[in-house]
């Protein structure tokens, strides 16, 4: 498997009222192409901080982050923005659709920053929306006219419209009911099956079950890593048990 992301002695600390809080400590991590990497851990373990450091949303305090052979941790904010538009897609827990734009414009806002408009791009956006169950009559609707699940599916399409090398997701089902959450996870699974690399933060076992590799964090460090068995039967009991055992070992 090709390594797509790598960290070297990654540290991230925050200063609050003169007190330094070390959230990530000397972390060495590799993310591989085609993997569906799930980052788990208890609250405050540094999951989201790690995700945003890996994706170039935030800069590490110390250490390095490499995308391929490129060290992105030395980039300035604008360089990181260009890196994100070229190589990354994002799905947020709070979805963060632009309220003043309709569904299609929300997707095109993400697309047009990275590439020029073309009939193929518009076709691709339409195709992806249909694929996730957003019918054409909803394309001109505004976010406040959609359900949470529909919004998140639009959010995912916005994340993958540029065919990113890696899709980052921060608790994408956190704000959804179970039915909508399942629909959204199905989209992630489908994307992964097409070869999309995904890095997802979650504390939900059902969500983690969709991954191919699980990394467990505690106190800013990796304390365990588990590679999930391949998909098998529909209920995937083997995967569930395997993950359950791993998490039990981690003290979940």
Partner 1 sequence: MKILRLSFANIRKHKKESILFLILITLGLVLLAASVSSVIGIKKITPKMVEESGCYKNFAYFKQDHYSDIYLEFLKDNPDVESFDHTSFVSDIIKVKSTDEGDMLTDICFVPESGERRMENFNTTVGLDSADHPIVLASANRKKLDVTEGDNLTITWNNKEFSFTVAGFYETGIWNYGTKAVVSEEDFEYLENCMDERYEMIGINTAEGVDNRILLSDFKTFAEDASINDLSGSVYTYTYEDTVSTNDINMSLLSIIIMIMSAVIVTAIMIMIRFRIVSDIREQIVSIGVLEAMGYTSGQIAASYIAEYVLIALISALIGLAPAFFMTKGLIQNAASNIYYGGPVTVPAFPLMLCVLAMIIFVGLIALSRAIAVRKYPPVMAFRKGIDTHNFKKTILPLDKTKGSVHIRLAIKELFQNAKNHVGLTVCITTCTVLTLLGFILGTFFASPDRILGSVCGHELCDIRLEAVGDIEPSAFASELEDMTEVRQVLTPAVGIGVKITTDSNANTSDPDYPVTLEVYEDYSKTSTIFVINGRLPEHENEVCVTVQEQKKLEADLGDTITLEHGKIKKDYVITGIVNSAVNPITAYLTTPGFKRMDPSYTPSTFDIYLNDGADKKEFAELLRRRYGKEIAEYKDDDIKGEALEEKIRNAADKKMAEAMTEEGVSYMEYAIRVGDQTITGSTSIMKIKSLTFEKEENEEIANMLLVSFAGIAVIMMLISGIVVILILSILMASTIRKQYRELGIMKGLGYTSRELKFQLAFRIVPLAVLAVILGTILSILLMGVVNAYVCKIIISAFSIIMMDLAILLYCFICAYICAGRIKKISVYELISE
Residues found near partner 1 in the complex (CB under 8 A): 48, 52, 57-58, 77-78, 81-86, 88, 90, 92, 94, 96-102, 104-105, 108-110, 112-114, 117, 122, 125, 140, 142-145, 158, 170
Q: Smallest distance, Å, CB 163 to partner 1?
A: 14
> What does the alpha-carbon distance between residue 21 and residue 36 come to, in Å, rounded to a whole number?
30
Q: Smallest distance, Å, CB 202 to partner 1?
A: 15
Q: Which is nearer to partner 1, 23 or 209 (CB)?
A: 23
Q: Smallest distance, Å, CB 8 to partner 1?
A: 21
Q: Which is nearer to partner 1, 110 or 149 (CB)?
A: 110
> What does the alpha-carbon distance between residue 216 and residue 192 come to, in Å, rounded to a whole number?
20
Q: Smallest distance, Å, CB 228 to partner 1?
A: 27
Q: Which is nearer to partner 1, 123 or 249 (CB)?
A: 123
Task: Provide the token pair at 142.
Answer: 């505004």
CB 28 within 8 A of CB 220: no
CA angle in degrees (0–180, nearest 5) for 60-66-68: 160
CB 13 within 8 A of CB 61: yes
Q: Smallest distance, Å, CB 71 to partner 1?
A: 19
Which residues, in sequence order, are bridge partners of residue 16? 19
Q: Which is nearer to partner 1, 125 or 209 (CB)?
A: 125
Token pair 């085609």: residue? 34
Task: Provide the token pair at 164.
Answer: 């990113």
Q: Which is nearer to partner 1, 146 or 228 (CB)?
A: 146
Residue 1's SS3 state is: coil
CB 159 within 8 A of CB 111: no
Q: Smallest distance, Å, CB 57 to partner 1?
A: 5
Which residues, in sequence order, are bridge partners of residue 6? 30, 66
> What does the alpha-carbon distance between residue 196 and residue 30 come to, in Å, rounded to a whole number?
16
């Amino acid at each position: 498997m090709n390594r797509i992301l790598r960290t070297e002695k990654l540290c991230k600390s925050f200063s609050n009222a003169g007190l330094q809080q070390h959230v990530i400590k000397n972390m060495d991590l590799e993310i591989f192409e085609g993997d569906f990497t799930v980052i788990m851990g208890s609250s405050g373990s540094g999951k989201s901080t790690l995700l945003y450091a890996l994706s170039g949303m935030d800069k590490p305090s110390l250490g390095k982050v490499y995308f391929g052979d490129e060290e992105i941790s030395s980039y300035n904010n604008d360089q990181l923005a260009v890196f994100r538009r070229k190589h990354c897609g994002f799905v947020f827990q709070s979805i963060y659709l632009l309220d003043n734009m309709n569904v299609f414009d929300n997707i095109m806002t993400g697309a047009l920053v990275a590439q020029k408009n073309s009939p193929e791009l518009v076709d691709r956006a339409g195709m992806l929306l249909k694929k996730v169950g957003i019918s054409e009559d909803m394309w001109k609707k505004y976010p406040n006219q959609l359900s949470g699940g529909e919004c998140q599916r639009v959010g995912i399409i916005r994340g993958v419209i540029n065919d990113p090398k890696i899709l980052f997701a921060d608790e994408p089902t956190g704000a959804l009911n179970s039915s909508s959450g399942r629909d959204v996870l199905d989209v992630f699974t489908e994307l992964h099956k097409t070869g999309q690399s995904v890095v997802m933060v979650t504390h939900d076992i059902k969500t983690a079950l969709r991954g191919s590799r699980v990394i467990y964090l505690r106190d800013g460090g990796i304390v365990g890593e588990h590679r999930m068995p391949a998909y098998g039967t529909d209920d995937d009991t083997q995967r569930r048990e395997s993950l359950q055992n791993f998490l039990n070992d981690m003290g979940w």
